[in-house]
Amino acid sequence: MRGFLRSGAAWLRAYFSGCSPLPPLPPLVPTGTAFQKAVWQQIAAISPRTTTTYGQIARVLGMPGASRAVGQAVGANPFPILIPCHRVLAAGGKLGGYSSGLRRKRWLLAHEGLARIG
């Protein structure tokens, strides 16, 4: 457990100080439904300075009408920075929601160089 916490803390320090490339993340094994885990896996693959939408994730999962369900899974993400749900936007590039508040979502996107979003 200490190794996980050290690795996670090192990653967070690197992320917030703007280091690139980021060190590898410790293995994350969040508890959730199969659908939530599939959504979180898609979110984890979003590169820094890149965004996607709830609808795009739903389409990748083969469920094009499930953007609201994707949004609920995004909101249930237990590791909101490590599994970067701030990079998921609503249709048309709107911010959508964020479990830690839209002010933090805007800040995280700006930190990654995406200040014009939202």
Q: Is the Cβ–Cβ distance between 11 and 23 less than 8 Å?
A: yes
Q: How far apart are CA 101 and CA 66, in angstroms?
A: 23
**Structure-token match 């996670």, residue found:** 8
- Is residue 19 annotated as a catalytic residue, yes or no? no
Which residue of the set 74, 85, 89, 114 is catalytic? 85
Nearest to 75 by CA among 53, 97, 92, 59: 97
Q: Catalytic residue numbers? A: 85
